[in-house]
Every structure is written in structure tokens, then in C-alpha cells.
Amino acid sequence: QNPKTSAIVKHLLAEGNAGELQKYFGSRMEFGTAGLRAAMGTGISHMNDLTIIQTTQGFCRYLEKNFSDLKKRGVVIGFDARAHLSSGGSSKRFARLATNTFISQGIPVYLFSDITPTPFVPYTVTHLKLCAGIMITASHNPKQDNGYKVYWENGAQIISPHDKGISQAIEENQEPWPQAWDDKLIDSSPLLHDPYSTVSKEYFKDIQKQCFYRNINKETTLKFVHTSVHGVGHKFVQLAFKAFDLSPPFAVPEQKDPDPEFPTVKYPNPEEGKGVLTLSFALAEKDGAKIILANDPDADRLAVAEKQESGEWKVFSGNELGALLGWWIFTCWKNNNRDARAVKDVYMLSSTVSSKILRAIALKEGFHFEETLTGFKWMGNRAKQLMDQGKAVLFAFEEAIGYMCCPAVLDKDGVSAAVITAEMASFLATRNLSLSQQLKAVYDEYGFHITKASYFICHDPKVIQQLFDNLRNFDGKNTYPKSCGRFKVSGIRDLTTGYDSSQPDQKAILPTSKSSQMITFTFANGGVATMRTSGTEPKIKYYSELCAPPGNSDVEQLKKELDELVNALEKHFFQPEKNNLQRKTE
């Protein structure tokens, strides 16, 4: 019943344009553990009013099956600022339609009345003890995309088998229910609640438990620039600084207000590095700021840059900031916990493709480190299990600039990460140390961890499948490569098939998934490289790391060795020319 998408379909029918219709209606978007992520537009392959109604009807039936008290507890729904003029879709409209679906079945909905950061949804699930949460966002994807991200009652993103159960329920509930399109009905419903002001107040109260140096914050002369890259983060980071008694950061004026067109950037993704930060650098130079904090559009990720003594800007990788935050959060914990035995109940987590620096810190300091599969759904769920056993999970991170610094949110949170980074920098400044100098000190103490990651773009699933099949049948059937150029392979873990050469029974310990590709190679020189497909973008990603024991200070030699390993990986395992892969830089 959306006049815009309906008109597009009628026009294509009149033209007899079977090709376009096939594209729109040939296959339904797949609902996975990341929920939905696709372009907004017409047909069942896109995000639009109809597919949102169908998805929510399925999710609603699945929740009814799992929770006898769903009508008492309810769900929370949040949204970002994305909008798509030609199809009439927007995050706010989708959130209202989803709300209408639940309310029509007598289920209370806590719908945020305005845009919020993604972490506010899992926070609300936990804080109000709700059954589930939905966030309508496509995070840092291109402007035409949108997404539907789902949280379970434990405050973490869903993991299998919930995705399969929800997917099946969507298939069984495709015809819109009688009042599905009439979202105006929600405005007068007693089942509609707005958690905006309560949650905002409580969230900033909760993150203050991670504020340890209020006096330093009040007096610091360090200046910060913040950009929300046309997303939702501006207001919330300003409030977070206020909660920590820090002077507000300078906001990049051209990017501080939400704008679904993202007019100043090619991709609204701070992970892409300096291109997204051009305006931030200019403002920092003008205002004499030393540190830049950049959130992605839904404010669950954080990139950080620091001006070096040379005048150059250093953009920290996700692994480098993970090392700094891990060191900082543990140091603050240690200073506030005098009982030496308490460290045995302390945990930190990171994903298997992230740097193992936390493992090195844990070994020396006596706390526990665990690695999980890629993605915060795994870290959030594992953190909750540990917390339920009375353990303290201080920190979790992934190299894709995602950080969980505060146990009140079981997902990555760019707002708390931004303000905690600012406090850390302010503290270090009182010791005449920059973030870069402290990073070197961390590596000096716990061993250098040099990492390098990138990706190739590939729009053809067949090519991707073939590339990974070749790696599994490298020297004849069921044989993995024994070397990569001059680098000898000493171990292989394949989390698609469940094979791990380092285990006595050759079975991987981490959960396996046949639907995504992921192979990790360990090399005789101590290097590790993982190749995997992305769940939300047409990319084949790789991650590599060389770790040195403390005392090995020849960083340049380590970097050179890793560069050569990565070149060999690209040449022999990716074969970009043969497979027609597009490099990140292109």
C-alpha cells in the first residue's frame, strides 16, 4: 500500500520489464543473526514498508512462542536518521510500522520518539527487562541501505538458532494483518511508551561508573574534535562529555546534524580512515585540537586520530585503540581493586580476527582472556554468560573499531568509548604522554603486536565460493596450502568446515558456520592470517598479525616481515587478477 513502491511495480509491469521485476521479486532478503541489511526500494529483495511488516509479523509470532509474558514485558524499538526519497522508506517510518505490528497484537512497545545511537536499544532491553529489541539502522553502509537489527532478552544480539526460527516465522506470516499499514493507530494506544528521557538519563548515569578522574577532566587543557558523520552521535557524545565533567568537544559543523544523504563523504564509515576525517582534520587545525573522535552514523563504532609531534595525524587502527583501551580499563580496575585475588574473576574478550594484545596483557596481569567468533553478537552473549556466573567482564573489542567498555551495554558502543578515550587522553596528558607514546609503552611491556587488515570487493558469490574451494583443495582434493610464497604454513583452522589442525581430534573449538567462509592460517614465523567473507557487504576480508615477545624492539623489521607476508597472501591466496577482485584502494 505504499504509493511510491506500488507505482514503480505497476510501471515495470506496464513496460513488461521482466529483468527488473526478477531483481525485485526473485528472492527474499535473508534474515540472519545480523537481522536484515539491504538497499531500500521495491520488492521482497529490498527494505520497504511491506518487508518490514512481514519481518515484524514473523518476529512477533516467534517471540509469542518463546515468551509467555510478552504482553506484560514488551519490546523496545529504536531508529537512526536514514531515509530514501524514491521509495518513501525511512528508519522512522519502518520503526513505526514495526511498532504497529506489535501493538495490534496487544504487546507493549517502547518506541524511542527520536533518533538514538544503536547501543541505546540493547541498554533498554537490559534496563527495562524487556523480551527483545529492534534497531532500524544500516550503521555505516552506503546511504541507500537500511537494516533491521535484533536483540534478545539478555541484551545481546541474537545468535543461532533464533535467526532460523525467526526466518521461518517470517515465511509463515507474509500476508499483512488487517491493520498493518495504519501506523497512526499507535499514537493513541495505551501500549505505546516513549523511553527516550528515562533511558537517556539512566544511560549517562551508568557510564559514569567508568569515570575515574573527574578532577583531571575538569582541568584538562586538551582539546577534542568530534564528528558524527551525518549520523545520530552528536548530541549523545556532547552529553557523555558533560557526564564526565569534560569540556564539550568541537563538533564538525558540516557533519554534526543527521543527514541521510551523507553529503560530505563517499562512504559514511570512519573505518575507511583519512578520507572520512578530512573536515575533522581541518577543524582540529583551526581550533588547536590534538585528538579527533569519529563515530559511525549509528554511533556504535569509534575511530580516533591524534596529531603527532611531526604535525602529521595518526589514525589508530581498531587493534591499536583496543590495546590502549584494554590497558586503560584494566589499569583503572586495578587501582580501584586492592584485593589481589579478585583478578581471577576478571575477563576481557575479543574476536578471533582481532589482535591478541589482550591475551598478552592477561597473561602478565593474571586475568582471563577469551576469543570468540567474529562479531559482537558472540562477545555480547559470552559476556552475559560470564556475568551471570559472577565474573567481571571489563572490556571487549573487535578490530572493526567496535568497543564494549561498559557492562551496561552488551554490544559495541561508540558513545561510551569516545568519552572513556577522552578521559584516558586527559590523564596521559598530565604525565606528558600522548596516546601514541602510551601505545608504544603498552607494546614495550607486553610485546609488539603488528597488524594489517584490508579487503577485496567481489559481487559474484560464485567467485568467492571458488576462491575458498581452491584453498581447501590446493594440492589435490582436501589439501590446504603448505606454504604461501616463501612463508611456511604451520597450522590451519577452517571455521566453515570445522577443521583445526592444531587440535588432537582436528576439530575446531569455536562454533562453525557453513553459511560463511572463514579460514585462519598460522605461519612458521609466528604470523597469523585469516580470510573471511563479510555478513553485510560484498567483501572478502583479511586480517594478519605478527606478535613478538616483550623485549623484541625491532619494530621496523617486524613491519617489513608482515608486509611481505600480506603481499604473498594477496598474490597466492586471493589471486586478484585471476578472480577479478577489486582492491580496497580502488
Q: Helix/strand/coil (H, E, C) string of 317-358? A: CHHHHHHHHHHHHHHHHHHHCCCHHHHHHEEEEEECCCCCHH
CA 429 vs CA 219, 223, 281, 437, 445: distances in Å: 11, 11, 20, 11, 20
Residue of 511, 527, 508 whose CA lies nearest to 567: 527
Question: Residues 519, 531: contact at Cβ < 8 Å?
Answer: yes
Separation between Cα atoms, residue 61 and residue 65, nearest integer Å: 6
pLDDT in tens, 119-129: 999 999 999 99
What's the average model confidence in pLDDT over 538-557? 88
Residue of 263, 288, 265 whose CA lies nearest to 277: 265
Q: How confident is the model at residue 483, as a pLDDT?
A: 97
pLDDT at 72 over 70: yes
pLDDT more than 90, % of the chain: 92
Q: How confident is the model at residue 450, as a pLDDT?
A: 94
Question: Residues 253, 263: contact at Cβ < 8 Å?
Answer: no
Q: How confident is the model at residue 488, as a pLDDT?
A: 97
pLDDT confidence bin for 559, thresholds 50/70/90: very high
Separation between Cα atoms, residue 281 and residue 258, nearest integer Å: 20
Question: Residues 506, 499: contact at Cβ < 8 Å?
Answer: yes
> E strands along 45-88, which residues?
75-79, 83-84
What's the average model confidence in pLDDT over 250-277? 94
Q: How confident is the model at residue 432, as a pLDDT?
A: 98
pLDDT confidence bin for 535, thresholds 50/70/90: confident
CA 168 vs CA 18, 27, 130, 164: distances in Å: 28, 15, 23, 6
SS3 state of residue 566: helix
pTM score of the predicted model: 0.94
Separation between Cα atoms, residue 212 and residue 217, nearest integer Å: 9
Q: How confident is the model at residue 513, as a pLDDT?
A: 85
pLDDT at 585 over 80: no
Per DSSP, the residues of 182-216 read: -GGGGGG-TTEE--HHHHHHHHHHHHGGG---HHH
Query: Which residue did the predictor score with more confidence, 267 or 80?
Result: 80
Lookup: cell for 481: 596450502
Helix (H), strand (E) at residue 25: helix 18-25
pLDDT in tens, 144-155: 999 999 999 999
Question: Residues 60, 107: contact at Cβ < 8 Å?
Answer: yes
Name the active-site residue from 87, 139, 228, 280: 139
What's the average model confidence in pLDDT over 29-41? 93
Could you tell me where the DSSP H helices lie in 173-317?
A: 196-207, 214-219, 233-243, 278-287
pLDDT in tens, 18-27: 999 999 999 9
Helix (H), strand (E) at residue 19: helix 18-25
pLDDT at 570 over 60: yes
How much helix, strand and coil, in percent to the nearest 5, is found in the chain? 40, 20, 35
Each as own residue / partner, the long-range contacts of residues 171-177 (CB below 8 Å, 24 or more positions apart, any chain) are: 171/58, 172/58, 172/61, 173/54, 173/57, 173/58, 173/60, 173/61, 174/54, 174/57, 176/50, 176/53, 176/54, 176/57, 177/53, 177/57, 177/101, 177/104
In sequence order, which residues have a C-beta less than 8 Å from that of residue 208 and are 6 or more positions away? 243, 244
Residue of 157, 177, 196 whose CA lies nearest to 107: 177
Residue of 156, 91, 102 whose CA lies nearest to 110: 102
The reply to whether omega before 142 is within 30° of 0 (cis) is: no
CB burial readout 170-185, b (16+ within 10 A) else e: beebeebeeebbebee
pLDDT in tens, 173-202: 999 999 999 999 999 999 999 999 999 999
Q: How confident is the model at residue 437, as a pLDDT?
A: 98
The region, left, alpha or beta by phi > 0 then psi within -120 to 50, assigned to residue 562 is alpha
Separation between Cα atoms, residue 465 and residue 514, nearest integer Å: 12
- Count other C-beta atoms under 10 Å from residue 268's C-beta: 26
Q: Catalogue all structural domains in the chain, each as residue range(s) with its CATH number.
A: 3-193 (3.40.120.10), 203-315 (3.40.120.10), 319-446 (3.40.120.10), 448-583 (3.30.310.50)
SS3 state of residue 282: helix
What's the average model confidence in pLDDT over 219-226? 98
Separation between Cα atoms, residue 28 and residue 43, nearest integer Å: 8
What is the arrangement of strands in the sheet containing 368-372, beginning at the earlier edge strand? Answer: 368-372, 346-351, 392-398, 402-404
Q: Identify whether 416 is a catalytic site residue.
A: no
Amino acid at the residue 432? N
In sequence order, which residues have a C-beta less than 8 Å from that of residue 220 and are 6 or more positions away? 246, 247, 426, 429, 430
The secondary structure of 373-403, three-state, reads: CCCHHHHHHHHHHHHHCCCEEEEEEECCCEE
pLDDT confidence bin for 553, thresholds 50/70/90: low
Question: Residues 375, 351: contact at Cβ < 8 Å?
Answer: yes
Burial (CB < 10 A; 0-12, 13-18, 19+), residue 64, is middle
Q: Which residue has the cell 509491469?
A: 13
Residue of 273, 584, 569, 585 whose CA lies nearest to 455: 584
Helix (H), strand (E) at residue 62: helix 49-66
Q: Which residue has the cell 533498554?
A: 124
Q: How many residues does the chain have?
A: 586
